[in-house]
């Protein structure tokens, strides 16, 4: 009585193993055949994670990105964190934004895509971001209804003996170009020349409020002990296409 049951179990396990190998083979074959077509922004973005490095590099080159930058950004040794997003402007014209990871010569890149035909895109402008202190972060925010801007944080701006500095910057799109309308230091670490005490760190965080207002909170600390906390307001003027800011004021406990 035991032999038929054991035989049945063996057959079931063999069938399950074959099924698993078949399914695994299907997943291994998932990908893109040929080149990624230049198409809708979201379609290209969805294709990037399942494409191989050569296909990703080929797409970036056809969009107008320099070959050396495209190949460095899509190198197999780098994570596949390339992203394509849509970006709306006050004029109603749609643009695209491509973010590339830290690669060539210690730089990350943001490329602006202009639609030169129906779902046909080409690079119109770009900014290079130093990433000595880590890969910069960016996200889109809206200063006015229907208008997106690009807010970059932790872009490296300088370093020296015992000192590291990053900056935050905000870019608006006008006539197919990226214009910087806000720039401020968002991280700084200073070490005494004698190294007799821990470095003093300053970190800023940002909160978008209604009506084109950005609240910046700056915390100064040493060895994880709070020294002071300050806050100021950045206010956007749609007519002047510029920011004004208040002085920092201490935050009460």
Q: What is the mean pLDDT of each run of 10 residues along the chain (253 residues)?
A: 47 46 40 90 95 95 96 77 92 93 86 95 96 85 90 88 91 93 94 83 95 95 94 92 94 74
Predicted confidence at residue 77, as pLDDT, reads 66
Q: Is residue 47 part of a domain?
A: yes
- Rounded CA separation 99/104 (Å): 14
Q: Name the residue with tokens 């394509």.
A: 84
Identify the CA nearest to 57 among candidates 103, 65, 49.
Answer: 65
Q: How far apart are CA 232 and CA 213, in angstroms?
A: 10
Number of compact structural domains in the chain? 1
Domain that holds residue 53: 36-250
Q: In this predicted structure, what is the pLDDT of residue 68?
A: 93
Say what the pLDDT of residue 253 is. 58
The reply to whether 113 falls in a domain is yes
Residue 134, CA distances (Å) to 86, 109, 157, 175 in order:
25, 13, 11, 31
In a domain, 123, yes or no: yes
Asked whether residue 8 is domain-assigned, the answer is no
| Max Cα distance, the chain (Å) | 89
Is position 130 within any domain?
Answer: yes
Q: Does residue 15 sit within a domain?
A: no
Q: Which two tokens stand for residue 78?
A: 């780098």
**CA distance linking residue 91 with residue 1, whole number of Å:** 80
Does some domain include residue 19?
A: no
Residue 143 forms part of a structural domain: yes
Q: Let me know: does 51 contact 43? Beta carbons within 8 Å.
A: no
- Alpha-carbon distances of 26 from 8, 18, 29, 30, 50, rounded to whole Å: 27, 12, 5, 6, 14
The pLDDT, as a whole number, for residue 123 is 98
CA nearest 224: which of 193, 249, 250, 199?
199
């Amino acid at each position: 009585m035991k032999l038929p049951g054991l035989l049945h179990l063996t057959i079931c396990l063999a069938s399950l193993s074959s099924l698993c190998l078949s399914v695994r083979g299907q997943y291994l074959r998932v990908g893109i055949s040929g080149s990624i077509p230049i198409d809708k922004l979201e379609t290209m973005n969805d294709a990037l994670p399942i494409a191989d490095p050569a296909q990703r590099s080929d797409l970036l080159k056809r969009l107008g990105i320099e070959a050396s930058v495209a190949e460095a950004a899509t190198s197999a040794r780098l994570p596949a964190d390339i992203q394509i997003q849509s970006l709306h402007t006050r004029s109603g014209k749609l643009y695209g934004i491509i973010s590339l990871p830290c690669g060539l010569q210690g730089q990350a890149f943001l490329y602006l895509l202009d639609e030169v035909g129906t779902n046909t895109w080409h690079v119109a402008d770009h900014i290079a971001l130093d990433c000595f202190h880590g890969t910069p972060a960016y996200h889109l925010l809206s200063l006015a209804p229907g208008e997106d801007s690009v807010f970059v944080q932790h872009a490296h701006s300088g370093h020296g003996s015992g000192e590291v500095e990053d900056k935050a910057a905000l870019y608006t799109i006008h006539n197919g170009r990226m214009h910087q309308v806000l720039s401020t230091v968002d991280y700084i670490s200073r070490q005494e020349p004698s190294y007799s005490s821990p470095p003093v760190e300053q970190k800023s965080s940002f909160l978008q409020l209604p009506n084109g207002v950005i609240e910046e909170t700056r915390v100064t600390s040493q060895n994880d002990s709070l020294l002071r906390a300050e806050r100021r307001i950045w206010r956007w003027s749609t007519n002047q296409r510029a920011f004004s800011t208040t002085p920092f004021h201490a935050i009460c406990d």
